[in-house]
Amino acid sequence: MAGWTEEHVPHVTEGCLAVVTGANTGLGLATTRVLAQRGATVVMACRNQEKAGAARRSLIDRGIAPARLRTASLDLADQSSITALAEELADDRIDLLINNAGLMAVPESRTVDGFETQFGVNHLGHMALTLRLLPRLNATPGARVVTLTSMGHRLGRIRLDDPNFRRGRYNRWTAYFQSKLANMLFAAELARRNAGRGALSMAAHPGYAATELGKDTGMQARALSVFDKVAAQPASAGAWPTLRAATDPTALNGTLYGPRRLVFGTAVPETPSRTALQEDLAVRLWDLSLHLLSPAKVTDPLA
């Protein structure tokens, strides 16, 4: 099949449980809607529970059964919150983990655990969550992990000696591109390390979709909002690569999906950047990330 839209998403097995981070808006909300419509129970893992509740009600108003939608608290900038969510889901089978939540080009700041915020949330937060849930994913036949990256991964480089920007001048876009390359490298390394153990690992990027991502400051928000009206596809279309990675029965471990025309279009397999294909870099990032996460007692279940 050349290209996917949400119309190609098959109905899932009864009892399928999907965890979607950042499910209250944009791509996460669109992904949640389609998965729930196709029969999955979706855990909407969000930082802001008021917004999560409102998003859940909006989906119920569109005809989705309330039992298909659960909300859960998750702050990816706080390792204790990630641990708490993993413990909350301890008795659940997990078929899909959609690492969707993220930040784009935010001003310099630190997570609760002291990481540069974009690296800490986009990469380290999702890596910690994935590793904590991986035993349950591997115990569930057909399970998958889908990690959201960006076209921006092609511009990224990993600052192995200073990933948290402790030295030198901070640049919000440099930090963002690093985090998105880290997402791509993590998804690829997870696919290699977990091969034959159970869950598949795929990556997806939405092209250019109209979401709230990156709209944190006045001038930037206004500029992006204007450009969205001219060039962006809706969030529902931006979610197609995620949905294909999550549900295409022919998907292969380690695949990256994106829009056919780079920034818009149906979901197709895509070739990552040359940097993202460097296995030695992926290994070094994996080891560095585990070291950074060790104070939070994040361990590697594949070691």
Q: State percent of the chain over pLDDT 90.
A: 84
Q: What is the pLDDT of residue 215?
A: 47
Lowest mean pLDDT: which of 126-135, 205-214, 278-287?
205-214
Q: What single letter denotes the amino acid at residue 6?
A: E
Residue 17 has pLDDT above 80, yes or no: yes
User: Which of 101, 90, 136 lies closest to 23 in space, CA to CA?
Assistant: 101
Element (H, E) at 52: helix 49-61
User: Over 50: is that where the pLDDT of 230 sits?
Assistant: no
Radius of gyration of the chain (CA): 18
- What is the pTM for the complete model shown? 0.92
Grade residue 295 by pLDDT with cuts at 50, 70 and 90.
very high
Q: pLDDT tens across 44-101, in order?
A: 999 999 999 999 999 999 999 999 999 999 999 999 999 999 999 988 899 999 999 9
Q: Would you place residue 226 in the very low, low, confident or very high pLDDT band (cuts 50, 70, 90)?
A: very low
pLDDT of 261? 80
From 170, 176, 208, 257, active-site residue: 176
Q: Which domains are seen in the chain, by residue range?
A: 6-291 (3.40.50.720)
pLDDT for the residue 227: 46
Active site residue 257: no
Query: Of 27, 46, 24, 288, whose CA–CA distance to 178 is shortest?
Result: 288
